Chains A and B, each alone.
Chain A
């Protein structure tokens, strides 16, 4: 019924040439994944000025895309998660160890996704990928996985992220994280590229609006790595940042580099309070 209404409305709007009003804003429905209600909208943290309420990106997607995320049998990311679970148990490298050898069951990772990225013991800001590769290289004696596009890294970050599904994002922005957070905030508001836009121009000032065929969300990262229909697979947070920068004809920062990791911390902090939705599905 709802679907039919939307389709008719879209046709009617196309006919008058202005796809406005009806689609504006996030959907007013709960996000229930496998019977568990997610926190898909929450009061914005007090250190965020530009918005009052934070919303999951799921609320901005079409009903067809939404349906793929709420049922694990439909979720196209699940084969990659299974691969990650398998890798968790698989010994690799000169030490003959698997992740499970040191960490036990992967369910021990519950909560980890909610605090990433975080400052390591040497005072560097690391995202989940860096912690994983640190274990591989320094504890397993194995090769690091390619950070952005390898099926291994995507499967593992998805499998670890899934252990926190439903738990609220809760990255630290104070103490040793403070300078990184400041750097990330600066990047978020800096205009770049030939189109001369900042992240905030689209995801703070215009979420809820259509930009051509795209319904702009707040650009939250609580669902990453995310299965994107356009990518035909899982993609990392830094891949998404890179894509947004290229769209505005800006030279992206290096995936895994200090700028994108600081930006990741800041963007994650804008979503503190939203449930982890990994692995989310987007168009």
Chain B
């Protein structure tokens, strides 16, 4: 567990930390490039916080990942969905750059999937409710946080 966290940290540091930090370094949804089903760079340059990622994962108004995915790490919570595969051990099946691409735009990774794209330009979508126009489901940092959390699921 500890070791994997360090590994995740190393990847982030190695690929993303430029001179700027925080929001100055945030990549806008329309500018994220998914290459070969991967996004190698952090969206923000700020290390993901797995504890917050865990909250975003369960929060119905944020990731609401639990709506579709069972996750044994959250056995204290009722009602895990079964629309998508259980996420136990997901960090062992995929690497970080792939999971970031999946969170950013699931459709670029699993064609035709029901899974929402959490960080895409809302102008590419149909009939978005006005109050969500111009917004992404998750912020760039929330994507990084959920990703950091997923990397703990061994």
Residues of A within 8 A of B (CB): 14-20, 24, 190-197, 201-202, 205-206, 209-213, 216, 245-246, 249-251
Contact = CB atoms under 8 A, between A and B. Distances in A.
A185 B83 CA distance: 23
A201 B114 contact: yes
B126 A209 contact: no
Interface of B: 60, 64, 66-68, 70-75, 77-83, 86, 107, 114, 116-117, 122, 125-130, 132, 135, 137
Nearest to A194: B132
A216 B125 CA distance: 24
Contacts of B72: 16-18
Which applies to chain B's interface (DSSP): helix, strand, loop or mixed?
loop
Contact of B66 (A192, A212, A245): A212
A19 B82 contact: yes
25 contacts: A17-B74, A17-B77, A18-B86, A19-B79, A20-B82, A20-B86, A191-B125, A191-B126, A192-B126, A193-B127, A194-B128, A194-B132, A194-B135, A196-B116, A202-B114, A205-B114, A209-B82, A209-B83, A210-B81, A212-B64, A212-B68, A216-B83, A249-B129, A249-B132, A250-B127
Contacts, number: 99
Contacts of B80: 17-20, 210, 212
Nearest to A245: B127
A251 B79 contact: no
Nearest to A250: B127
B114 A197 contact: yes
Nearest to A246: B129
| Interface-centre pick from B60, B71, B75, B114 (highest chain A CB count, 10 A) | B114
A202 B116 CA distance: 12
Contacts of A209: 81-83
A194 B29 CA distance: 14
Contacts of B128: 192-194, 249-251
B75 A15 contact: yes
Contacts of A20: 70, 80, 82, 86
Contact of B81 (A191, A211, A251): A211
B138 to A, nearest CB: 11
A18 B70 contact: yes
Given A192-B126, A251-B128, A17 B75 contact: yes
